[in-house]
Amino acid sequence: MPGFELFGDLERNEVNDVLKSGVLMRYGFDGMRNGHWKAKELEKELQNTFQSKHVQLVSSGTAAVSVALASAGVGAGDEVIMPTFTFVASFEAIMMLGAIPILVDIDDTLGLNPEAVEQAITAKTKAIMVVQMCGSMANMDALQSISNKHNILLVEDACQAIGGTYNGKPLGSIGDLGCFSFDFVKTITCGEGGAVITNKKEYYLNADHYSDHGHDHIGNDRGAETHPFLGYNFRISELHAAVGLAQVKRLPEFLEIQKRNYTILRDALSQIPEVTFRTVPEGGEESYAFLNFFLPDLEIANNVSKAFNENGVDACWNYYNNNWHYIRKWNHLKDLKSLYSISEEVKQGLEYLQTKTFEESDHYVSRNISCLIKLSWTEDEVRNRASKMVEIIKSII
């Protein structure tokens, strides 16, 4: 991770196909494109990759979450349960629909704590959105049981976990809807792009129409298409889809490299008794895009993180002090700093953030170090990196 590290002729050839046709838009212009339909081809490839009946490409992972929720009817005043540890896009995508993000604690999987989810359900709860952070998964059996018990949607934000599996099923394909990001720093990239996946045809058709201004995509004359309902522009371009089409064909190659590099690092850190690792639920396999481990306390984690940076061990973070990935510093959310007026429903729905504390999330995030696994590392570079990480941690502990 990320796929751009290994761009090659396959990506260039797919992009050149689009440039030769001159058609950069995924819809229409049938006569000009010489049979090239990159977005359609990528959707078919992703159906196989995700073992899912339907795939709708969109412009980003953030768009994928909004489109997925909208396609299932989530909207104004509805509550969507989400974790405290994620990217800011998670709550942005919910609020874009006028819905209310309800943040709850994580557990040692670094994903949603099922007990916290159960306690947060109200009459307004429309969906549970599990975020498969840093290449792994939450306790999916427990979350699926809660979803079924209360007859509410289970939506998977698997933007950071392409290639991970749970009981043999790709992450993203377990819930009612799955969401993926193909931005520039994901394991496979389109530059910018995302996807909604589902086995439910109704949700797919809604996503297909909603992401293109409500177009029904019936017939061969785009100007004559009808609009069954309101929609917006979350389209992907043929150029972006072309890059993704090349990248998805290389996913097995990327995952193999990630697993090799991850395993070398983890085996080395396992020598240190004070280092423990995130829990991966039984039956789960990470995508190996990140290595996540816990240290004894926040002070040690901060010191290790600082020493890593000072000694050339890049791409390792302690998210506790991060502005983008943890509730603690999301002041723009807590204070509702917006360019436009926020609805009273959402304002009232988010008042809980003024007093709510998340001690369990603090317990895990404060001690966690998350290390990106690069595809471009040679095996010797990874082994040298592992030795340096062990040396630094031992010197601080």
What residues are labeled active site? 186
Parallel, antiparallel, or unpaired: how do β-strands 165-166 and 153-157 relate? unpaired
CA distance from start to end of the chain: 29
CB atoms near residue 146 (< 10 Å): 19
CB atoms near residue 356 (< 10 Å): 14
Amino acid identity at 15: V
20-26 contacts, C-beta under 8 A, 24 or more apart:
23/238, 24/237, 24/238, 24/239, 25/235, 25/237, 25/238, 26/57, 26/235, 26/236, 26/237, 26/238, 26/241
CB atoms near residue 19 (< 10 Å): 12
Helix (H, G, I), strand (E, B) or coil at 308: helix
d(CA 382, CA 264): 7
Q: Find, among 211, 93, 216, the residue nearest to 155 by Cα.
A: 93
Strands (E), 84-230: 100-104, 125-131, 153-157, 165-166, 169-170, 177-181, 194-198
Q: How many CA atoms lie within 13 A of 327 on its CB side?
A: 26
